[in-house]
Chains A and B, each alone.
Chain A
Amino acid sequence: NAGVTQTPKFQVLKTGQSMTLQCAQDMNHNSMYWYRQDPGMGLRLIYYSASEGTTDKGEVPNGYNVSRLNKREFSLRLESAAPSQTSVYFCASKAGGNIQYFGAGTRLSVL
C-alpha cells in the first residue's frame, strides 16, 4: 500500500534550470496538493487540485506551474529555478473529508 509517492527524493539544480516534481497517489483521492516547507515557516500551499482537470493557486504560487495529469498524478514544475526555491516539497492528497495524506518529500537545492 504505497499511499502518496514523490519522485525524486533529492535534486540539485543550477539557477535557471527547469525540472518537474512528480507525485502519484493510489488511494483514489479527489484532491491533491503541493506544499513547500522552509525553516520557521511551516507548510505553505503552492497549488492544489480539488478534482481531476482543475487546479488553483495557493499561498505561494509564483515561479511554479502544476498539471493534474489524471486522478492519480499531480506534478509541480519549476520552469527557471531560483535559489529562493530551495526547499523541501511535499505532495498530499485527500478524499472527501479533511485528512490529508502526505508523501515523504523532495529535498531540492538550487545553486
Chain B
Amino acid sequence: GENVEQHPSTLSVQEGDSAVIKCTYSDSASNYFPWYKQELGKGPQLIIDIRSNVGEKKDQRIAVTLNKTAKHFSLHITETQPEDSAVYFCAANNFGNEKLTFGTGTRLTIIP
C-alpha cells in the first residue's frame, strides 16, 4: 500500500517569511496529492490539491509542486501571516480510489 512521509514535524517562521513542507510517497500509481489544513479544535480542510499531470499549482499565497520522478511534492506558503498557524497534512492516492493515505502532519507556527 501507499506510504507517505512528511517533514518537518514542526516548523516556526517569522511573519512575512516563506514556509515549505515536504512529502514523499511510495506508490508510483498515486496521481492525486491534496493538502489539508487543520486549525486548533477543528477538522482538516482541503486548501489545495494537484494531479500528476501538472508540476505546479498556485492559489494566491500557497502553491504545491510535484516531482513524479522523485516521488515527492511540497507545499509552499509565501508572505506568511498569523492565521497560517495550523497543522498541515499532505496525502496521496490514485484518483478515484476511496482511500487517502495521509502524512504525519506538520505543525506550523508563525512568529509575529
Chain A residues packing against B (C-beta within 8 Å)? 4, 31, 40-45, 48, 50, 56, 58, 90, 92, 98-105
Contacts and interface: CB of A to CB of B under 8 A. Distances in A.
B99 A45 contact: yes
B89 A98 contact: no
Contact of B41 (A44, A45, A100, A104): A104
Contact of B104 (A41, A104, A105): A41
Give the secondary structure class of B's interface. loop
A44 B6 CA distance: 14
22 contacts: A31-B98, A40-B9, A40-B104, A42-B6, A42-B102, A42-B103, A43-B89, A43-B102, A43-B105, A44-B102, A45-B99, A48-B98, A92-B43, A98-B34, A98-B49, A98-B93, A99-B34, A99-B49, A102-B43, A102-B44, A103-B43, A105-B41
B105 A104 contact: no
Q: Categorize the interface residue count of chain B.
A: 20 to 34
Contacts, number: 50
Given A48-B99, A98-B49, A98-B95, A43 B32 contact: no
Interface of B: 6, 9, 32, 34, 36, 41-46, 49, 89, 93, 95-96, 98-100, 102-105
A86 B22 CA distance: 29
A4 B98 CA distance: 18
Given A42-B105, A45-B99, A104 B93 contact: no
